[in-house]
């Protein structure tokens, strides 16, 4: 008896301690399902510790909401897509609830609550990690997903590091990070959306929660990937499609797509911190024209303001801003000005007093306005989450319209203050859902960009250009985004490529970085390489800081100028292709600058760090950027046929090749089957090209098409059908090229189409709508236009690419070519 008793006591103690430990655990699990309600396409659930909803939005999009408290009324700054009415079957058993659509199947396990997603034929796409599922640690909520074998992750917006996020963790808290390192996290914006890839499957997850959020893709563990937030509910959208492009389309259906930009914003933009006074601005403009450097925009940084006060001009430096902008317009330039959110506390100042009168500034809980120090000194900050704050800002934008400004550049809108420690207890209206800095911080930049865009639409009367440094998911509806204060270093140039590719995967099609680097001074070769690369970046802006050397194209010598001018000129020749690619982004969310992982998702080479900087520019081009110091580089060619841009030399897909690197020439290749509309060289988009549209068509093994798009490039009339759109198709199976009948009421500028046939070496004859057509030989140089118009000649002898061609009239009806 003594022996049994001595064993029993420790066991009782062990059970008692274990029970006490469980009761005192700081981690709360979601628990088991205790009640289920099925209502058409939504399942409402109560568990032992939480409340949940699983809602089918489309056959491919399912939303999951979980909270420890009863779920509140729905509200989102990001999501604009509303649930459709798809065909859904929902069945409940003792152990699970099954949700089946035409595209996927979701199983909700009851013991404990966990969600698993399958294809309709039973392949596992994604599942909650057993034993962890969704949990809370105090107010922070996290959902844990089982990491599948060989799973890879892309996206998450503006994040440094490799294309493949596997093995890393990230935090979303919009931050001002001047001269950031290439591994720094977080940066300026928050887009909590990523795509998982494994076993020939891919899916997307969008966590719509504006608190600080954290993502873990196997960092410091080999068990799970996870996503969560420091407050609020677990609220995520699961997206499944067979193709990454379709996942992006569904994500941008949820969060919105960009409107058509003004065409001038797609041209070259010259910027510096700062151009002043007005005479210096005009000198820059005239020099660009005199040196035949095509350009459309000049950007003014904070020194245009009177003592950095918003909605003012420094009258000493800019005595007649409207007159200056009118003169710039005559030269074919549009002006973009910087705006910061801080309104200087200055009695008698018009903007400050107006904000006080309308009570639009954010406050402490005791009702006193929050004051933070920025460029003007101590400032109050507009509450852009308050409808009346946004209305007030929209009214202020009229100031810029009256000055002849065409673009608004939103800066410091993380928001940033000296010290970078805005207090947590500052209150925001949050559209009637009063909240603190903890929830409002990450959407502040988005709402500022929204206010600037809506004000510009109201007062500019034409399509505005809006640029932002900070933002949240959905920012593409209002603004382009650039990657902030980078550095003039090779690794920053390449990191910038990955940042823009990641933003593209994450729904933001209009993106850019400071070409040449913001801080520091690039070498001549780095500047040249970066400017070459800029021709294939959506937002092409050269920008440098106050304490650095001048970085206009002519400041690095005549040889550098010739090379840079060639690539800026190529950009302007490509504008019909670029504009059509932007139109595509407005329709399906596809980025202009694309990671190879979009089109070649399951090719392991595209995730290889050796090739991760390669990207596509629209459907046609593949660019292979390298450090400016390298003499050789290795390029990977995905499946298909590829053509070297300058010579037309063929490369077979599925191979890698070491190439010589020449600072005169950026490695650019064209995908077989591509269709590239181009125009004659112009010096700005205010100038009309010739009346012949040149369409380059590259022979390939598979059918392909391009939606060619035109409108007036400046008004909103395209929304009323005033556009010109036609599909151009290549079908190698029946040896045909088809120009479909045009749609829309807009009349194309081009009267003729010159079709350039690349790789059609065996083609001896062409028929137009069944009638024989003369096939001619033509020689075309992609880098020759600038040299041909430059009276001083060119330091670079452009390579000629002889091809067969035909010229036809641009009839409105269908055009059929057979070769």
460-519 residue pLDDT tens:
989 999 999 999 999 999 999 999 999 999 999 999 999 999 999 999 999 999 999 999
DSSP 8-state code for residue 783: T
Q: pLDDT band for 799, please (50, 70, 90 cuts).
A: confident
Task: Provide the percentage of residues in the chain whose pLDDT is more than 90.
Answer: 93
Q: Would you say 459 and 472 are in contact if contact means Cβ atoms under 8 Å apart?
A: no
Domain residue ranges in the chain:
29-240
What pLDDT score does 11 carry? Answer: 40
Report whether pLDDT(692) > 60.
Answer: yes
| CA of residue 215 relative to chain centroid, distance | 19
**CA dist 380 to 302, 309, 353, 452, 819, Å?**
18, 12, 11, 18, 67
Rounded-to-integer distance, Cα 794 and Cα 566, Å: 9
Mean pLDDT value across residues 188-192 = 98
- Length of the chain equals 819
The token pair at 242 is 């067979």
pTM: 0.95
Record the tokens describing residue 421, joined without a space: 């420690």
- Read off the pLDDT of residues 651-686 as tens digits, 9 standing for 90 and up: 999 999 999 999 999 999 999 999 999 999 999 999
Q: Which of 503-512, 607-616, 792-801 has the lowest mean pLDDT?
A: 792-801
Residues 709-724 pLDDT 10s: 999 999 999 999 999 9
Helix axes 278-290, 321-330, angle to 10 degrees: 0
- What is the average per-residue pLDDT within 354-363? 98
Confidence bin at 801 (pLDDT 50/70/90): confident
Residues with a catalytic annotation lie at 411, 414, 485
Taking the C-alpha atoms of 95, 100, 104 and 110 in order, what is their torsion angle to the nearest 10 degrees? -20
> Mean pLDDT throughout 781-794?
58
**CA distance linking residue 254 with residue 161, whole number of Å:** 27
Q: Which two tokens stand for residue 312?
A: 């003012």
Reported as type and span, the H/E element at residue 643 is: strand 641-644
| % the chain with pLDDT above 70 | 95
Looking at the domain 29-240, which fold is it? Immunoglobulin-like (2.60.40)
What's residue 798's pLDDT? Answer: 61
Q: To 10 degrees, what angle do helices 575-588 and 244-255 make? A: 70
- Please choose, from the candidates 147, 152, 144, 84, the residue with its C-alpha nearest in 3D space to the C-alpha of residue 115: 144
- Closest listed residue to residue 748, CA positions, set 739, 757, 737: 739
């Amino acid at each position: 008896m003594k022996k049994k008793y001595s064993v029993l006591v420790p066991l009782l103690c062990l059970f008692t301690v274990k029970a006490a430990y469980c009761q005192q655990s700081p981690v709360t699990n979601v628990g088991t399902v205790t009640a289920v309600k099925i209502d058409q396409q939504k399942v409402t659930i109560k568990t032992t510790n939480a409340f949940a909803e699983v809602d089918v939005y489309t056959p491919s999009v399912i939303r999951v909401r979980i909270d420890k408290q009863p779920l509140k009324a729905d509200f989102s700054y990001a999501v604009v897509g509303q649930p459709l009415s798809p065909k859904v079957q929902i069945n409940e058993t003792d152990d699970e609830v099954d949700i089946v659509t035409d595209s996927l199947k979701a199983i909700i396990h009851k013991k404990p609550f966990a969600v698993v997603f399958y294809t309709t034929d039973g392949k596992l796409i994604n599942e909650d990690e057993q034993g962890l599922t969704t949990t809370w640690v105090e107010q922070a909520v996290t959902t844990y997903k089982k990491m599948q074998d060989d799973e890879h992750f892309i996206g998450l917006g503006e994040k440094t590091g490799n294309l493949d996020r596997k093995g890393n963790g990230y935090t979303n808290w919009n931050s001002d990070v001047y001269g950031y390192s290439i591994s720094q996290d977080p940066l300026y914006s928050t887009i909590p959306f990523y795509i998982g890839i494994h076993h020939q499957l891919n899916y997307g997850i969008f966590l719509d929660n504006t608190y600080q959020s954290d993502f873990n893709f196997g960092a410091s563990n080999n068990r799970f990937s996870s996503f969560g937030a420091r407050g609020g509910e677990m609220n995520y959208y699961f997206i499944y499609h067979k193709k990454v492009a379709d996942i992006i389309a569904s994500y941008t259906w949820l969060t919105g797509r960009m409107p058509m930009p003004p065409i001038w914003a797609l041209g070259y933009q010259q910027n510096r911190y700062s151009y002043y006074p007005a005479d210096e601005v005009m000198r820059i403009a005239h020099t660009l024209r005199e040196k035949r450097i095509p350009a459309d925009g000049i950007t003014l940084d904070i020194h245009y303001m009177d003592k950095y006060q918003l909605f003012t001009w420094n009258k000493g430096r800019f005595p007649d801003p409207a007159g200056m902008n009118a003169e710039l317009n005559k030269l074919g330039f549009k002006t973009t000005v910087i705006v910061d959110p801080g309104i200087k506390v200055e009695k008698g100042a018009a903007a400050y007093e107006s904000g006080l009168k309308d009570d639009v500034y954010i406050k402490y809980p005791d009702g006193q306005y929050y004051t933070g120090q920025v460029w003007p000194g101590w400032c109050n900050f507009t509450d852009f989450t308050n409808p009346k704050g946004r209305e007030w800002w929209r009214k202020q934008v009229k100031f810029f319209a009256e000055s002849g400004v065409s673009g608004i550049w939103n800066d410091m809108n993380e928001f940033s203050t000296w010290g970078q420690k805005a207090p947590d207890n500052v209150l925001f209206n949050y559209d009637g859902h009063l909240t603190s800095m903890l929830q409002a911080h990450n959407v502040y930049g988005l709402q500022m960009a929204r206010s600037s865009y809506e004000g510009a639409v109201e007062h500019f009367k034409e399509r505005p250009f809006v640029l932002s440094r900070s933002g949240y998911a959905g920012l593409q509806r209002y603004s382009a985004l650039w990657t902030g204060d980078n550095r003039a270093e090779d690794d920053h140039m390449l990191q910038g490529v990955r940042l823009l590719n990641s933003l593209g995967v994450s729904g933001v099609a209009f993106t850019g970085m400071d070409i040449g680097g913001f801080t520091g001074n690039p070498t001549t070769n780095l500047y040249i390489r970066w400017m070459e690369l800029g021709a294939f970046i959506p937002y092409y802006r050269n920008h440098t800081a106050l304490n650095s050397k001048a970085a206009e194209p002519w400041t690095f010598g005549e040889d550098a100028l010739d090379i840079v001018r060639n690539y800026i000129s190529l950009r302007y020749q490509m504008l019909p292709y670029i504009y059509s690619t932007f139109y595509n982004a407005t329709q399906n969310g596809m980025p202009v600058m694309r990671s190879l992982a979009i089109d070649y998702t399951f090719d392991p080479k595209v995730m290889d760090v050796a090739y991760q900087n390669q990207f596509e520019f629209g459907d046609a081009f593949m660019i292979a950027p390298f450090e400016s110091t390298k003499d050789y580089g290795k390029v990977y060619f995905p499946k298909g046929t590829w053509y070297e841009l300058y010579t037309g030399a063929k490369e077979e897909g599925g191979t890698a090749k070491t190439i010589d690197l020449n600072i005169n020439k950026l490695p650019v290749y064209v995908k077989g089957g591509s269709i590239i509309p181009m125009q004659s060289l112009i010096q700005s988009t205010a100038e009309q090209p010739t009346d012949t549209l040149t369409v380059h068509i590259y022979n390939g093994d598979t059918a392909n098409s391009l939606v060619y798009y035109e409108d007036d490039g400046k008004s909103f009339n395209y929304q009323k059908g005033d556009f010109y759109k036609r599909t151009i198709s290549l079908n190698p199976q029946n040896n045909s090229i088809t120009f479909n009948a045009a749609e829309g009421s807009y009349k194309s500028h081009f009267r003729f189409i010159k079709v350039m046939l690349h790789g059609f070496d065996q083609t001896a004859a062409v028929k137009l709508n069944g009638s024989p057509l003369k096939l001619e030989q033509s020689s075309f140089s992609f880098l020759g236009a600038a040299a041909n118009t430059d009276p001083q000649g060119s330091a670079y002898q452009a390579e000629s690419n002889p091809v067969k061609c035909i010229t036809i009239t641009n009839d409105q009806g269908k055009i059929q070519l057979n070769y």
